[in-house]
Structure 1
Amino acid sequence: MPVLEDGLAWLPSSFPQGFSLLFARDVEPRTLLELMGCEEGSFEVMDRDDAEEFQQEDPEERSMLRAGSVGPWAFAVQSWGAHILESDALQNVSAVAETVAMVRTETVPWFAYAKDGQTLCSFDPGLPDLRDGADRDVLLSHMVESGFRVEGRDSGVSPVDAMLGLAERAFGLGLSRELVVDGELLAGVAEATP
C-alpha cells in the first residue's frame, strides 16, 4: 500500500512535546471535529502556532484540534495533548468510520484501530504484547514488519517509530509536513470531559 504524502516518521521531531493524531476514512474534516466533541460555534481556520497558543490558555478545560484531509482520510491533530484518550472520541468516530489513532505525549504512547464503534486492536507501543480489543491480532503481521518487539522479536526500532511505521504500512497513512506544521487547517474546540 503506497504511503500518502510525507509519511509520519517526521512527527516526533516536529512535535517534540508530543501529539495526538486520529485518522477517519471517508469523513469530512468538519464532521470529524464534530464527532470528536468540538463545539459548533468554535470552528475557524488556524495555523499551528495560533492553535497552540489557544490551547495553552486553558489546557485543563479544553482541547484545540485541527483537521484536514489526505486521500480518503480525514485527520485531526492536537499538539502535546491527548483529547483522544480523555473523551469518547475514538468510539464516536469509529461508529461511523474506520479509525486509526496514535498518541505520543511525555507520559503516554498509545495506538488504536477501531471500526463499527468497536476497538479492534489497542496497545501501548512500548508493551505491544499486551494488546486489547475485539481482534487483538488483526495487525500482528504489520506490527512485526514495522519493527515492534512482538513475541520475543526485537528489531531495535523505537516503539513510537514502530507505531508510526505501522500506520504507514497497514493503512498507507501519511501527512504533508508543511501543511500540518506551517499551514492552516480547520480548528475546533472540545471541552474537557469531566
Structure 2
Amino acid sequence: MDEPVAYQEWTWTRPHLPLGFCLTVARGLSPSALADRLGVTAEREILGWHEAVAEFGVDKPLARIGVVADWAFAIQEYGAEAGQPDALRAAAVGTDAVTVWQTAKALSWFGHARDSEILVAFELASPHQRTGAAPDELVGPMTAVGLHPDRPWPVDAPVSPVFPGLTLLTAITGVRLTRADLEGPLLTGELVG
C-alpha cells in the first residue's frame, strides 16, 4: 500500500516494523558518546549491515550508530531497548534526544527529551495521551504530520502511526535517514543496558 507523500521518506522502515525497530537521535554527540549513553558494550566495531548480522546474529539487542548533520543516531532492529525512557534520558544528558520505536507486538512510542528530562512522550496510537514535563510542546508539529493531539490514531488507518512518528522526528530534528544509512558501515555493538 502506498503511504501519503509526507511519510514516503520513511517507508524503507516498513519491513523492520513487524520485528521491532527503534531510532534514537541525539544532538551534538559522536557515535561513541551515544553508544556509551545507551549502554552499548565496549566491544564495538565499524561494520556494514550484512557483517553485523553475520557477527552478532539477530537474537541480541544490537545498536548501529552513526552521525547525520549534527545528530548522532542509533538504529536498533529486532527490539526497542535503545529507545526506552531511561535510555532516552541518558541520551539527552546536556542535549536533546528523540526516539521513535515499535516492538514486535506493535506497541509504538515517541519521546523527546532535553537535559535528561522527558518533555513529551506518547504511544503513537494515542497521541492525545501525552506525558512529560511539557506535553503540549509539540502540538503544532504533531498536527502538521497527522498525529492529532486530541484523539487516538484511527484503528482503521491505512498506515502505521510509526510513519508520522518518524516524520515528527524529522520535523523537530531535521534528521532524515535512508536504507543506505542503515546498511552502514556504522559503529556496531550489543546493548547491555
User: After superposition, what is the alpha-carbon deviation per residue over 1:7-41, rounded to whole angstroms, capped at 9, x for unaligned?
Assistant: 4342224555231110000000111001111122x
Q: Which segment drifts farther, 17-26 or 113-122? A: 17-26
Distance 1:51 1:168, change over 3 A: same
Query: Deviation at 1:50?
Result: 3.6
2:5 matched residue in structure 1: none
Q: How many aligned positions are there?
A: 181
Query: Deviation at 1:169?
Result: 1.9
Q: Taking CA–CA contacts closer than 8 Å with sequence separation of 6 or more, which of the two structures ends up with the larger relative contact order? A: 1
Within 1, Cα distance between the matches of 2:153 and 2:20? 25
2:130 matched residue in structure 1: 131
Distance 1:153 1:183, change over 3 A: closer
From 77, 90, 93, give the equivalent of 2:91. Answer: 93
Query: Deviation at 1:151?
Result: 1.6
The amino acid of 1:114's aligned partner reads: A
Query: Deviation at 1:154?
Result: 7.1
- The secondary structure found in structure 1 opposite 2:81 is coil
Aligned alpha-carbon RMSD (Å): 2.3
Q: TM-score normalised to the size of structure 1?
A: 0.83
- The secondary structure found in structure 2 opposite 1:78 is strand
Within 2, Cα distance between the matches of 1:55 and 1:90? 25
Within 1, Cα distance between the matches of 2:122 and 2:85? 17
1:121 matched residue in structure 2: 120
User: After superposition, what is the alpha-carbon deviation per residue over 1:133-163, rounded to whole angstroms, capped at 9, x for unaligned?
Assistant: 0000111111111011332497856411211
Report % sequence identity: 30
**Contact residue 127 and residue 148 of structure 2 kept, 8 A:** yes
2:144 matched residue in structure 1: 145
**Contact residue 120 and residue 130 of structure 2 kept, 8 A:** yes
1:173 matched residue in structure 2: 175
Within 1, Cα distance between the matches of 2:85 and 2:140? 30
2:189 matched residue in structure 1: 188
1:3 matched residue in structure 2: none
Bigger share in helix: 2
Query: Does residue 47 of structure 1 match 2:45?
Result: no
Q: How does 1:12-51 map to 2 (within 5 A)?
A: 12-13=14-15, 16-40=18-42, 42-51=43-52
Structure 2 gap segments, 5+ residues each: 1-7
Within 1, Cα distance between the matches of 2:144 and 2:151? 14
Runs of 4+ in 1 over 4 A off after TM superposition: 152-157
